[in-house]
Amino acid sequence: MSEIQIKPVNESDLHELKNRMKIIADADPKQYHNEFSLKRYLRAFKTADDAFKAILKTNKWRQEYGVEDLTAETPVVKVNLEANKARVLRHRDMQGRPVVYIPAKNHNASNRDIDALTKFIVYCLEEACKKCFEEVVDNLCIVFDLQDFGVTCMDYQLVKNLIWLLSRHYPERLGVCLIINSSTLFSSCWAVIKGWLDENTKSKVIFVGSEEELCKHLIPDILPTDI
């Protein structure tokens, strides 16, 4: 299986970005970003100037959104955990990435609070990111399980929100997105969704058609059977 190679960043851009970060660190010692994070922003936003602007926006968003306060006991998180909307698995994929497992059958687009569900997705992304061994691998594996997928399961707004989160506030965190147990019904949905993705992100989405193919990415036994 060929893996997407992580592009190295320009060292002069990284040096410039570090210097800019020192300035805001003096004003706000509590910083979310480390060198790995800076490199991810540089890869995503190309220049030190654009990366720095994006980091400032993320810092503001994290504070206003209350990201640090999201826990398993936060009501909007707890209710979605109990409903098995998604789960960060204990085990990792073959590349050592943390795995976020999302069973589509447990979602109903006509019966959900989009704001609460988006906060839950942020919680899951945060928990998965905490499990990264950044010196080795700093991105995630997201698994969409389409077993028993129906029309009511498709939530375009939630998918848009996830794409926005990954592109704006978790850049370069997506390592691979596995679509398992897909059906003909989902093909029309995918025709719409892929139009929202840039080429880099689109290349990370893999439709897995068999258990043999799945084994190239992760051990099937790590996937939940209780949800």
Mean pLDDT of 116-134: 97
Residues 18, 88, single domain; the answer is: no
Sequence-ordered list of residues with C-beta below 8 angstroms from that of 190, at least 6 positions apart, any chain: 179
Residues 41, 120, single domain; the answer is: no
Residues 61, 95, single domain; the answer is: no
- The per-residue pLDDT of the chain, averaged, comes to 94
Residues 176, 200, single domain; the answer is: yes
Share of the chain above pLDDT 90, in %: 89
DSSP string, 112-171: --HHHHHHHHHHHHHHHHHT--TTT---EEEEEE-TT--GGG--HHHHHHHHHHHHHTST
Q: What pLDDT, on a 0 to 100 scale, did the predictor assign at position 170?
A: 98
Is residue 4 in a domain?
A: no
Nearest CA-CA partner of 59 in 70, 67, 49, 69 = 67
Mean pLDDT of 191-204: 96
For 1-35, give the secondary structure using H, E and C: CCCCCCCCCCHHHHHHHHHHHHHHHHHCCCCCCCH
Is residue 161 in a domain?
A: yes
As for how many domains the chain has, the answer is 2
Is residue 200 in a domain?
A: yes
CATH of the domain at 148: 3.40.525.10
Tokens of 34: 């480390």
Residues 203, 157, single domain; the answer is: yes
Residues 194, 123, single domain; the answer is: yes
Residues 83, 170, single domain; the answer is: yes
Cα separation, 182 vs 120, whole angstroms: 24
Domain that holds residue 113: 73-219
Residues 206, 134, single domain; the answer is: yes
Residues 21, 83, single domain; the answer is: no
Residues 141, 53, single domain; the answer is: no
Residues 137, 183, single domain; the answer is: yes
Q: What pLDDT, on a 0 to 100 scale, did the predictor assign at position 2?
A: 43
Q: What pLDDT, on a 0 to 100 scale, did the predictor assign at position 226?
A: 86
Is residue 5 in a domain?
A: no
Q: Residues 83-120: pLDDT tens digits?
A: 999 999 999 999 999 999 999 999 999 999 999 999 99
Angle between helices 11-27 and 35-45 (to 10 degrees): 120
CA distances from 38 to 11, 152, 173, 182 (A): 11, 39, 12, 36
Residues 20, 88, single domain; the answer is: no
